[in-house]
Amino acid sequence: MAYTIEKSEKGYLLFTITRGNKRNAVDYDVMEGLSKAIHHAADPDVLALVITGEGENAFCSGGDLSVFHLLETEEEAYSMLSKMSKILYSLLTLPIPTIALMNGHAVGGGCEIAIACDFRLARKGIKAGFIQGKQSITTGWGGGTILAEKLPNPLYMKLLMDAEVHKIERLNEIGLIDALYETDPIKECETFLENLLFKDKGVLQSYKQIWIGRWEETKLQERIEKEVRNCARLWENESHHQYVKMFMNKKTNN
């Protein structure tokens, strides 16, 4: 199993990617699991959804290229990208608070998952970055569009264009991370959520609907679709295929 879904007695649902040996990279099983978690998070007794990764090394390293390297054409890539973008849009518009509990490094699609959550709680000392540009593609799960919507500042555009990995403390300073922790991630997350979990669910849903309504009015889903299409076109280019070949050769040699 590539994931676990657990219901806490305190009222939140915990989704954990359990592919520690793959740096918690996303494959089709993880996609299915996240979709299930989002579905279960709609249950009446669930007040929040927390997403994290197994171990301390990685929150999520994005899409698993050892799986997705088989996708070569624009349409093949679009099928995968579109599937995950729809899952992340469902996560974004889930009518309860969502938290990315970043227990380890987050790169590429891992950052897209994190930005689709309402809050980001990260362990001190880790690093994160939208590195897709180094792969000759862009964000393709909607993360770039969501980032621009949530944090409309040229500084965040530079994060995408530079495609570098940054210390989490720096990302906290510029507002990308909401809080840092040092020790027990679950305990720290429950402390972060403490006041929210004692609210009436109707209150949480009402406030969340303010943001959802805005995203619907500005046709965010349509804008995400354009991002997906653009990434799919770049995916087909030879420069991206060369990066994937280099990545796969490196894995084979190691």
pLDDT in tens, 113-137: 999 999 999 999 999 999 999 999 9
Spell out a b/e string for 198-224, using b for 16 or more CB atoms within 10 Å of the CB, else e: eeebeebbeebeeeeeebeeeebbebb
Pull the structure tokens for residue 45: 């007794």
Element (H, E) at 13: strand 12-17
Q: Which of 126-130, 151-155, 216-220 has the lowest mean pLDDT?
A: 151-155
Q: Which amino acid is at 141?
A: W
The highest-confidence range among 22-31, 63-72, 244-253, by mean pLDDT, is 22-31
- Tens-digit pLDDT profile for residues 60-75: 999 999 999 899 999 9
- What domains can be seen in the chain, in order of their start residue? 3-185 (3.90.226.10)
